[in-house]
Structure 1
């Protein structure tokens, strides 16, 4: 059994998404002590930003005419696609940045899509957990309602394009503990964090059983 885990936080030592994902991973590894965990941390080891353009142009270039950079990009695309396709379960820990999807995750997902084509269900039927964290509040009735442009994209790619059996664990108000002006939200933030950890534990058990 193989679990693929991807992290995208640029602050791994204080990452809420990593903390929540750890809870799910612990359940999976407890159930599969002989299993393997393939990790990719885009925050600490980002992919080259030009790789997608190089791989895309290489696809329209005759093999003898491809540049060394194009060939390297194609090799990377193939490796990323194989890494995901070989997974029996998937955990993706991706925070919201600047109201949108992490640039590191976007680079990775573009390259994975390039590996098999934009309509290929790479994770069809594969259980996947998406953990996402948001520094503020974006729910109904909040001043920033509708400003989360990350979660819908992540669900579209992982759930709709790749057709994973997707569970989402979402944690808001993660900046309340350290941000002036958010003191009144700290109790709510702590409750949300505890709920997210519990949800991740339950989701990890589901991944382990699948």
Structure 2
């Protein structure tokens, strides 16, 4: 059986969130292809993981027999998250842009699973695992746009997930999501709607393509 690790981080619930809505479309298509599969869902907004602490960080560089009780307890939480990543056949991440970067809750998850000598380093333990990131944003930060230089979601996640953890990374980018809510962006609503439609189509297509790839 296959395992999908699905991570949401938007502070908005349900259909109010573009990243959640598009990720749900991916997940539904995935489940249609893998009705017997397992989905591990972490909603980091509703149930955040602890931000990294000195004990949790230092435990990763301390022999198990030499860890303090505080280090051992903190590291056990990290190991659980790391094992979920390592067990996954595919990872799905909803990563909305919050003030030009990822939500702090998603950064906390990254900090917990990033462990030199295991998930990062010369032989990353989850290397090659496909990961699809739904990177929604209120405006447009595409190459050639005035705010291209403010894009720290794809740049950061590309460096960490692909560059350091060795995951096989793809992005789905629904943009201009603030257009229906901001009167100053009303003329951009058609572009927003087109971007949203493409994102849903991409989510379904990528889920089916990955299902076929794993079945091959």
- TM norm. shorter chain > 0.5: yes
Which residue is equivalent to 1:70? 71
Q: Which residue is equivalent to 1:19? A: 21
Q: Which runs of 5+ in 1 are unaligned?
A: none
Q: Among residues 98, 122, 125, which one is paired with 2:125 in the alignment? A: 122
Question: In the alignment, which residue of structure 1 is the partner of 2:54?
Answer: 53
1:117 Cα deviation after fit: 5.2
RMSD, matched Cα: 1.9
In 2: Cα distance, 1:159 partner to 1:67 partner: 33
For residues 89 and 61 of structure 2, what CA distance do their matches in structure 1 show?
33
More strand by share: 1
Q: What is the SS of the residue equivalent to 2:162?
A: helix
Residue aligning to 1:33:
35
1:174 aligns with 2:139: no
Q: 1:140 to 1:125 in 2, by over 3 A?
A: closer
1:208, 1:12 → 2: CA distance?
A: 27
**Can you list the C-alpha shifts for 1:35-60, whole angstroms capped at 9, x where unaligned?**
110111111111122x3432122345
Offset at 1:140?
A: 3.1
Measured after TM superposition, the shift of residue 62 of structure 1 is 6.6
What do the CA deviations read for 1:123-142 (whole angstroms, capped 9, x no partner)?
32222211110111112343
| Partner residue in 2 for 1:43 | 45
Structure 2 length-normalised TM: 0.89
- Which residue does the alignment assign to 2:93? 92
Q: How many residues align?
A: 209
C-alpha distance in structure 1 between counterparts of 2:100 and 2:20, whole Å: 19
